[in-house]
Structure 1
Amino acid sequence: MLGRWFIRVFLIFVPLSLLSVFFLFIHTTVEKERSSVGTLEEERGPQVELEFWNTWVHNEPWQEIIFERMKSFEKVHPEIKLHMDAIPHDEYKIKVKAAAAGRELPDLLVVWPGAEMRPLVAGRSLSPIDEIVGNYKDKLIPANKLMDYAVGGKQYAIPTVVSFTSIIYYDKALLMNKGYTHFPETYGEMKQLLTLLRNDGKIPIALGNKAKWVLQSCYLSTIGSRYTGDEFLSEAIRGERRFTDPEFVSALRVIEELNKMGAFNENMNSLDNNQQDDLFIEGKSAMVIDGSWALPKISLQFQGQLGLAAFPAVSGGNGSTTSLSGVTGQGIAINADLSPAKKAAALQFIQYINNEITYKKLLQSQMLVPANIPVPRYVDPVFKEMFELTSRGIAPVYDAVLPSDLIDTMNKLLQDMTTRKGFGPEQVAQALQSKMDEIRKGQFDSIKSVNNPNVAKKEEAP
């Protein structure tokens, strides 16, 4: 009887004991995992969130590459969370200016060099990134291509692409049908072609200048260089040359001539630069003048019939006959007001995006890059043609060199020249020079007040 009772107790007690040991093991293991995760999180620190503004709204092939790299970055760095806000280009520039004025810029933002970035630097809205420049300078990227994003000896962004702003994209088959085996080599011959196209009912050149910058950046930057040479802009800023000089007026006259001869679509000031490309892609125009950034989108629609050209030589010009206006672009800058933890995360992001892997992928997508990377062997022949076309010299882009206030005035005046009767090149040139004189006087007065102790004391007085 006692033996049976003992066996029953044994059969009940032992399984319960084993079960208790099992649950104790599970509890201990879970606690260890929690402790391990906790230690890992302590090593990584709390998650950092970064707000990132850019203009990548069209999902173009090169933008998809950047998006892919951003997703990869978040996998490698789970402690950093990106919040991207893609804003249309023209709206973006207005939003950035307003945000900078109220010190409400995002943690990261895409910036353009020159006139677009300098006011942000002057307003102390951007943080220098000198601590990472050594990873690029004369290693992955030549020093002269980093300079576009340097102000006062400090670096504020790393260029992602190289943008040539004035490429003529044309329909080879259409020109062949008109008797042209290649694009005209002189401006006079080009006008003859444009007249022939217009008389046949075809829009010669698709133009979308709604945002006003296209005539300045894609047209005048290269046309101006043909007439004035590349030193004109810096000399005009110093007061050594003037916008009323005959050479610059001649460049303005080209735009007036193109408009008056009906080279553009009538709704040119109602379309943006993406819509102008669509006109060309849809076969409604014979050509379009846009930046190198448009190649991936445009080339998809042409089966070996896309031609590329630079603006042809002009009569009496003092500049190169082959160079194209160009500048590095799509640099990512950092808000000056970030905490040390956020800035460290932002620098990690920039170095992940601007690295050899990204640049190689961009080249494969037909985007020109600032890095020392050879063109892949297997790329679309039209991209090789672009590479060759853009290697014949680089001219300054107006809005990357001139003061932003002057560029705003220039953009408006160029649009006015296409809409206002009796408002021609001479009036535009005089208005530009007056604005330049005003800007230079303001800079002189500012320097004078700083150097004059009496003025300084007066300003400090209550």
Structure 2
Amino acid sequence: MKPVDNLKGVNELTNGKKVLGVVTAAGLLAASLSACGSSDNNNNKNASGSEPASSAPASSAAASQSSGEKVTITFQNIYPDSSDPKYQMLHKIVSDYETAHPNVHIELDSLNTDQQKLKLKTQAASKEVPDITIVNPKAQMQPFVDADLFAPLNDMVQQNGLADTFQTGILDPYTFNGNLYALPDGNNIAILYYNKELFQQAGIANPPSTFEELIADVKTLKAKGITPLAIGEKDSWTGSFLFMNILLRTYGPGFLQDVTDGKTTFEDPAFLEAVQAFEDLVKAGAFQDGATSFDYNAGENLFKTGKSAMYFMGSWATGGIETSDVSKDANVGVFKFPTVNGKGDPNQYMLAPGSAFAVSKNSKHLTETLDFLNYFMLNYPKELFGLKGAVGLAQKVEGDFKAAGYSDMSITVMDLFTSVNGGDLSFDNTMNPATSQVHLSSIQNLFVKPDTDPSAVAKEHQQAYEDNKQ
């Protein structure tokens, strides 16, 4: 795998004006981009290394349009929440495309993240992948690529200048052996959102800067009858995402890479310390009752409806929070994940190159599907900008965010990108799927059994890694 530059290339931010790609993806991916399988060769020169073919209008003339053939394109997506700007963007672009191409119907299959992952696995096993589906980068995507399920997008991304809309380096995690197989929707960092009014009700003046302060605030909020921290842990990646940020503090960047390289194991003291800290958070009453029965959308909606004081998530959540009732009167603030036991750099983040759109190699309407995806991605940042959902995109965004009515909260999130000093990718984007599944279940179990011996959690992880390492 080719080396990736340290996170230094940050594009200009001037109070939210004329933001062109909030941060370079090459920087976001600085920390740990390996452990992704032997056939991964992140070299996407064929995909984005040459000049765009043209600056033509967003859609080329698909073959089916001239023939009049009736075409249905199945589009599996993870935008089921009608209150989210991405949902509105999706339906607007689909409607516009169908109007311009009356012979084409886009059939939407909108699922939450875990539902979509499970459904795609079943579809992949029978080689019945939707025309367009959602994949995650690196290790999560590798098995589908190895199974030869996706069509290369090298040529399509050159049409209409699409390649040039993406931030530098962001296509690398979706490129294998020189072929680009998916187009990402985001480029994100993990942050904590907080409800200023609920903090004031509990007598908390400022957001916590240390984990010890976070635990104390959790107990204070809980005593006031306020749910401290919302989470949708039915979708088990959410708890993992939070846990890995704790581990990023106790160990620093690169833990999973060091495990893979044989430099440490899951029984490292920093891993045990992270497990203990996570358990302390659960035992302090941080999360809503029945957290493991709330899916991602239900967990997020607790915060968006003012029913929890904090919410830990990737910056992709900013758009939905921005347009929700909780954000009225500048009520939502954001803060960096705190130090843990005095350890860690708050400017190191969990980094999240986004979920991405892939096209089935066996699509019955491959030409039309590629044409639609090209149109969709060209219009993606434009539509989201107008819907106040353009924070944390993988594509460059042109516009005056303040003039467009974006809140101070959104501008603050964009400003945080300028402070990023490295970080890590999520567990399931780094480790092989079998080890990742053990990890996800193990962390999820801590929500109901927070007295589990951290050494037992470590041994469970290490055994899974030894059994499944490649």
| TM-score, L = length of structure 1 | 0.79
- Residue of structure 2 in register with 1:383 after alignment: 410
Please state how far the C-alpha of 1:337 moved relative to its aligned partner: 1.6
- Pair member with larger Rg: 1
Q: Does residue 166 of structure 2 align to residue 141 of structure 1?
A: yes
1:42-441 mapped onto 2 (5 Å cutoff): 43-44=66-67, 46-59=69-82, 60-134=84-158, 139-164=164-189, 166-217=190-241, 219-299=242-322, 300-301=324-325, 302-303=327-328, 304-317=330-343, 319-339=344-364, 342-355=365-378, 357-364=379-386, 365-367=388-390, 368-374=392-398, 376-377=400-401, 378=403, 379-393=406-420, 395=423, 396-420=425-449, 422-440=451-469
**What CA deviation, in whole Å up to 9, does each residue of 1:303-360 have, x standing for no partner?**
211111121122353x432232232324211112235xx22212111111111x4213
AA aligned to 1:113 is: P
**What CA deviation, in whole Å up to 9, does each residue of 1:209-258 have, x standing for no partner?**
123221002x0232222222222222222333211111122222221110
Please state how far the C-alpha of 1:374 moved relative to its aligned partner: 4.1
In 2, are the aligned partners of 1:222 and 1:323 still within 8 Å (CA)?
Answer: no
For 1:398 and 1:187, the matched residues in 2 are separated by 21
- Residue of structure 2 in register with 1:454 after alignment: none
For 2:450 and 2:398, the matched residues in 1 are separated by 50
Residues 221 and 265 (structure 1 numbering): CA distance in 2 closer, same or farther, change over 3 Å? same
For 2:459 and 2:68, the matched residues in 1 are separated by 59
How many residues are paired up?
396
**What CA deviation, in whole Å up to 9, does each residue of 1:78-120 have, x standing for no partner?**
3433222223332221111011011111111122223332221
In 1, are the aligned partners of 2:338 and 2:346 still within 8 Å (CA)?
Answer: yes
- Structure 2: unaligned runs, 5 residues or longer: 1-62
For 2:263 and 2:162, the matched residues in 1 are separated by 33
Partner of 1:354, secondary structure, is: helix
AA aligned to 1:154 is: N
For 2:380 and 2:321, the matched residues in 1 are separated by 22
Partner of 2:389, secondary structure, is: coil
In 2, are the aligned partners of 1:256 and 1:424 still within 8 Å (CA)?
Answer: no
For 2:286 and 2:107, the matched residues in 1 are separated by 43
- Residue of structure 2 in register with 1:21 after alignment: none
- Structure 1: unaligned runs, 5 residues or longer: 1-39, 444-462
For 1:283 and 1:202, the matched residues in 2 are separated by 10
For 2:115 and 2:294, the matched residues in 1 are separated by 14
Residues 45 and 274 (structure 1 numbering): CA distance in 2 closer, same or farther, change over 3 Å? closer
For 1:240 and 1:44, the matched residues in 2 are separated by 60
Residues 161 and 42 (structure 1 numbering): CA distance in 2 closer, same or farther, change over 3 Å? closer
| TM-score, L = length of structure 2 | 0.78
In 2, are the aligned partners of 1:148 and 1:327 still within 8 Å (CA)?
Answer: no
For 1:282 and 1:240, the matched residues in 2 are separated by 45
- Residue of structure 1 in register with 2:36 after alignment: none
AA aligned to 2:408 is: P
Provide the identity percentage.
26
For 1:150 and 1:248, the matched residues in 2 are separated by 31
In 1, are the aligned partners of 2:314 and 2:352 still within 8 Å (CA)?
Answer: no
AA aligned to 1:199 is: A
For 1:84 and 1:238, the matched residues in 2 are separated by 42
For 2:88 and 2:465, the matched residues in 1 are separated by 41
- Residue of structure 2 in register with 1:28 after alignment: none
For 1:86 and 1:403, the matched residues in 2 are separated by 26
